[in-house]
Amino acid sequence: MAEVVIVRDEEEAGELAASAIADLLRARADAVLGLATGSTPLSTYRALARRIDAEGIAVAGVRGFALDEYVGLPAGHPEGYRQVITREVVEPLGLTPELIRVPNGDPATIRTAAEAYEAAIDAAGGVDLQVLGIGRTGHIGFNEPGSSLASRTRVKTLTEQTRIDNARFFDSIEDVPMHCITQGIGTILRARHLVLLAFGEAKAEAIAAAVEGPVSASQPGSAIQLHPHATVIVDEAAASRLEHAGYYRHAWANKPDWQGI
Ligand code: GLP
């Protein structure tokens, strides 16, 4: 099962996730990071930027792959994930822009974009550590309920719930694209370490289903149960529906120092 770590707040979660990423970057100058967008990973990226700065970690060779992108937003749109990744990750961390890929959501080339993205991930030798958030519908990346657990990068249709949730980044819900291009669940499962973060009561149900529910395409997050090295970092509110929360706390409190996440 995934290791579940229940923390006080987003800041503590960000520190914990960032320390695992920092360890990876120190061990491998050309590490491959899997990058999530959304609000959830922001405290991780901020904590990581502080560490890179304070500890002088070399990041010029670090490579990265975003999970997903909207289809059809005008190039340079501030809410396109290319822009979000540049603003929230590449610039604050000082990464090399050319080494950070985001799926191409341009309708003109969308027929070949998915295959090209999978090939690029393979050519990089796969993702070392994948940062994940989870949607209220249980989606990881933009793999909405019903997504095949073996799926590869492809175009998907967003649920209305996800469009409503993401409308906060746009002027109105009509501006939220209907389609996206997302790494598949099978793609995500090929990463060597998954770090799934979630905060707040609104995520409690999705987290319970992902960690303790049956493995099912109806709950895309539950695919993490198939992964040999998955870490779930949640605050108290997001952990509030976990049946075995007491055990997760016990295991974490008694974890040997030498064992990282
Ligand atoms: C977004 C992204 C996902 C993200 C999820 C949760 O739409 N495509 O990668 O994990 O939905 O978003 P948030 O972290 O803002 O709650």
Task: Indicate the burial class of 65 (C-beta count within 10 angstroms; 0-12, 13-18, 19 or more).
Answer: buried
Q: How far is 107 from 123, CA to CA, in rounded Å?
A: 24
CATH number, domain containing residue 10: 3.40.50.1360
Looking at 120-224, which runs of residues are DSSP E strands?
129-132, 154-157, 179-182, 193-198
Question: Is position 117 within any domain?
Answer: yes
Q: How far is the CA of 52 from the centre of ligand 1 (A)?
A: 25
Please write the tens of the pLDDT for every residue from 92-151.
Answer: 999 999 999 999 999 999 999 999 999 999 999 999 999 999 999 999 999 999 999 999
Q: Is 36 in the pocket of ligand 1 (CB under 6 A)?
A: yes
Q: How far is the CA of 60 from the centre of ligand 1 (A)?
A: 27
* pLDDT grade for 164, boundaries at 50, 70 and 90: very high
Question: Is position 116 within any domain?
Answer: yes
**pLDDT attached to residue 191:** 98
Question: Is position 260 within any domain?
Answer: no
- Cβ-proximal residues to 13 (8 Å cutoff; 6+ apart), any chain: 5, 7, 43, 44, 197, 199, 233, 234, 235
Question: Is position 261 within any domain?
Answer: no
* Structure tokens that stand for 133 in this block: 């958030």
The number of domains in the chain is: 1
**pLDDT attached to residue 1:** 75
Please write the tens of the pLDDT for every residue from 61-104.
Answer: 999 999 999 999 999 999 999 999 999 999 999 999 999 999 99
* Structure tokens that stand for 61 in this block: 């060779």
- pLDDT at residue 259 tops 90: no
Paired residues of 182 in beta bridges:
68, 154
Please write the tens of the pLDDT for every residue from 22-62.
Answer: 999 999 999 999 999 999 999 999 999 999 999 999 999 99
What's the angle, vertex CA 191, arms to CA 190 and CA 194, rounded to 5? 125
Domain that holds residue 51: 3-253
**pLDDT attached to residue 241:** 98
Question: Is position 225 within any domain?
Answer: yes
| Pairing of the two strands 3-7 and 100-101 | unpaired
Please write the tens of the pLDDT for every residue from 220-251.
Answer: 999 999 999 999 999 999 999 999 999 999 99
Q: What is the percentage of the chain residues whose pLDDT exceeds 70?
A: 100
Is the Cβ–Cβ distance between 89 and 123 less than 8 Å?
no
Full strand arrangement of the beta sheet holding 193-198: 3-7, 230-235, 193-198, 129-132, 32-35, 63-66, 100-101
3-state secondary structure of 62: coil
Question: Is position 25 within any domain?
Answer: yes
Q: How far is the CA of 162 from the centre of ligand 1 (A)?
A: 9
In testing the pocket of ligand 1, which one of 139, 166, 188, 194 has its CB within 8 Å of the most ligand atoms? 139
Question: Is position 258 within any domain?
Answer: no
Question: Is position 177 within any domain?
Answer: yes
Is the Cβ–Cβ distance between 174 and 248 less than 8 Å?
no
Q: Is 103 in the pocket of ligand 1 (CB under 6 A)?
A: no
**pLDDT attached to residue 248:** 98
* Structure tokens that stand for 239 in this block: 């952990």
